[in-house]
Structure 1
Amino acid sequence: MTHPPHDLGRTVYRPVRGGNALEDTVARLVQTVRLGLVAPGESLPSERELAERYAVSRDTVRQAIGELADAGYVVRRRGRYGGTFVADPLPPSADGPVDAAELDDVLGLRRVLEAGAARAAASRMLTDAARATLEDRHAATAAASAGDYRRLDSLLHLTIAELAGIPSLLPLVVENRARVNAWLDTFPLLPRNIEHSDAQHDRIVASILTGRPDAAEAAVLDHLAGSEALLRGFLA
């Protein structure tokens, strides 16, 4: 196993946040691979060691490694000389690292737009038709196949922006999500992330339908933090 330089290792292997532990762990592992801190063909630290460094459960580490194995980033081997090894070769990535300032700008704007949209939607007296539309979009996303998930996820978020009742807001959200989706399409969907995302959608929609603006805003920010961690891990 290759050990990264001390400062880099301390940065990549620092404890993750609690709210999106799986996504953050996946992102940290991808950073380790993409930065070359562990070379293709070499082994990652053990699950126990990673769990200690990230301050998460071994089950979270195991799930994160499973996601990356399914996506072709790592290979798990059993036996005396087993472990988790960086794939050789690695899957193709995007056309190069995304500029950090651009990533910060787009994701920062997304937080402002989408959290504000959810707060505004939860503050309104929605019509029965509007409530039914939101519930239908939510149900469609929860039942979506992997191939259709990102499209229906986007439609759910755009519906929330529309229900905010601010006409000039929707075009801004559309443009912002188009940029984010172009980045998301450069790496595979992670099944465990979909499960987590669906649970967060439940909280967002419930908060809007029960008229709780603070809860709606907080739920959206928590939700966006998970995909933001993955974007920074895969693209930065």
Structure 2
Amino acid sequence: MDVCLSSEQQPGRLQEGLGSPDGWFEAEETPQKDGTRGPAGDFNNIEPSLQSLQKFVPADYASYTQEYYQFAGEKIVVQESIESYGAVVWPGATALCQYLEEHTEELNLQDAKTLEIGAGPGLVSIVASILGAQVTATDLPDVLGNLQYNLLKNTLQRATHLPEVKELVWGEGLERNFPKATFYYDYVLASDVVYHHYCLDKLLSTMVYLCHPGTVLLWANKFRFSTDYEFLDKFKQVFDTTLLAEFPESSVKIFKGTLKWD
């Protein structure tokens, strides 16, 4: 995958600056229930129920940056590190955020039960939450701390529904962790989850598993390799597929998929 991304290739990106993961919410202030603002790192001002959600610790990478984005009328600050693919916002994510923002009324995300596959540092889940969705952000265990950090930093006092963070290893423990009898999603979101790796069959089976009749899967991807197009061919075999948008400058395409039913 691309390690260095230019800001011109990413809609919604504002600027870049150095940051550090030295705890939670030190750099900013958080609005309180009474309308005042207090230090964002002051846990006495955060509801106990929110503190209980902080169960993952960000990975101890040598360096982080704070990247700035503008979506849904909000400035979003995302902690990223190029030391992990899962701690970087890729072009598909910014394109999908732009699409969600521009089609809010059409998608009707308000209160929609939404799961993101491979949420990474969480930009798409943040935007979906601000737009009103009930979001479950998922990824591999090693990136969940940074994901949770970014979600809480950007959705407290901004989102009707506080996002949930859950571990999801593609193709593993799906019925145990996401039983079909209990979990239903209006939307499944995925961005830049397809590239040159060896888990594409497990990714597709996970996408299929998480979709019910009526679930809409929105998948954004920068097409880099022949394997990306091979995955798209397999995707079309199991999903009724519509190309929603293209971003030629970044080679990103956004597809809508609804599962085919016999």
Both proteins in one fold, TM over 0.5 = no
TM-score scaled by structure 1?
Answer: 0.26
Select the structure that is richer in helix. 1
Higher relative contact order, chain-length normalized (CA < 8 Å, sep 6+): 1
Superposition TM-score, scaled by structure 2 size = 0.24
Structure label with greater radius of gyration: 1
Higher relative strand content? 2
